[in-house]
Amino acid sequence: MKRNILITGGAGFIGSHVVRLFVTKYPDYRIVNLDKLTYAGNLENLRDIEDRPNYRFEKADICDFDTVCELFRRYDIDGVIHLAAESHVDRSIRDPFTFARTNVLGTLSLLQAARLYWEAKPEKYEGKRFYHISTDEVYGALELTRPEGARSDFSAHEVYGDEFFTEETKYNPHSPYSASKASSDHFVRAFHDTYGMPTVVTNCSNNYGPYQFPEKLIPLFINNIRHEKPLPVYGRGENVRDWLYVEDHARAIDLIFHKGKVADTYNIGGFNEWRNIDLIRVLVRTVDRLLGRPEGASERLITFVTDRAGHDLRYAIDSRKLKNELGWEPSLQFEEGIEKTVRWYLEHQEWMDRITSGEYELYYETMYRYR
C-alpha cells in the first residue's frame, strides 16, 4: 500500500463519509477505521465499502493508549485523520467529564502514540501527517445584526452580520463541548511546536446530509415531521448557523490532508447562514411536499422551548483562505443539499427506525463480542 491512514471516528456521521471517499478514491491506500462504536457510531453507514480490500475496521477507544500504539505498529500508520469526538452540546452540558475524556485525553493519546511511533523510524516525520478536525464553536459567538446589503461573495442566502470567524479569531468557547475541542486543538498545535510533529487543524461549520445521528437538528426534525411529532425550537429560533453539506466537507478534508500547509489552520464553511426558524420552515415545506402533504401544513408542530444554556447566537465561517490557497468551495446550494438530504432520510426509513430504536447498537455489540 502506498499509504496507511488511520481515520478515527470513521463509523460516525462525518467520519463515514471521509472513510468512504478515501477507500473509493485511493485503492492504493490502506484505510484503517478506528471507532469505539458508541451511540453515534454505526457500521451500517459503511456497508457499501466494508468488503473492500483496502479497508480495515478496528473497534477501540482512542483513550486506550496501549491499543492505539499497537495499531500504529500493526498497520505502520503514516497519516492520521482524527474525527472521533463527543459532539452534542446538550450532552456536554449534562456530562462534561465524558467530553473532556474523549475529546482532550483521547486526542492526547493519539498524538503521543503517533509521536513515539514516528520518531522511532529512520525517516521520523518525513511523509507523515496528523490532521485534527475541529469545530467553529471554539471561536465563541458573533454579533447578530441585519446589514442592509448582503455580501454576495459570502452567502447563497443571507448574511446576518459584518463579522466572520477567520483562522486568526481568538478562541472563546462557551460550552463544555466547545471548551473540550478548544483544548484538543491546543494540544495538536503544541505537539508541532514542541516536537515538530507535522500537524494541521481545521475548524468547520455545521454539517448536514445522510447518516447523521438523529439527535441533531435536521435528521431529528425530518423524522418528527414524518411522524407528526413536536418540533422543539430553542428560544425564538433566531440563532444563526452556517451550514455545509457533509460530502463537501469530506472533499475539503481530502484536499487539506494532501495539500494543506503543515502547522496551518483552515476554516471550512458553507458561505450559507440560516436562522434556525427559517431552516426549520424550509425542512417543513420540503418534507411535507415529498410526503404528499400540503406544503407548510406541519408548521403547526413547531414548539418554542426554553433556550439552551450558553446558546451562542451566531456562527459564520470565512473560508476564503481555503478557497484562495487550495481552490476548494462548496459544490451544492443549500436548497439542493436539503432536497437531497430529506429524500435520503425518507428513502431510508429502516436505517432511521433502527437508529431511533437502538436496534443497531445491540446488533453490533453482539457481533463484535463474539467475532
Which residues form the catalytic set?
136-137, 177
Euclidean distance between CA atoms 151 and 173, whole angstroms: 27
**Nearest to 231, CA basis, from 153, 302, 292, 163:** 302
3-state secondary structure of 32: strand
3-state secondary structure of 46: helix
Euclidean distance between CA atoms 203 and 136, whole angstroms: 5
The angle formed by the CA atoms of residues 355, 351 and 62, to the nearest 5 degrees, is 55
User: Which contacts qualify for 98-106: CB closer than 8 Å, 24 or more apart?
Assistant: 99/176, 99/177, 99/180, 100/176, 100/180, 100/183, 101/63, 102/62, 102/63, 102/180, 103/177, 103/180, 103/181, 103/183, 103/184, 104/180, 104/183, 104/184, 104/187, 105/63, 106/61, 106/62, 106/63
What burial class does residue 354 get, using C-beta atoms within 10 Å of its C-beta: 0-12 exposed, 13-18 middle, 19+ buried?
Answer: middle
3-state secondary structure of 101: helix
Q: Which amino acid is at 149?
A: G
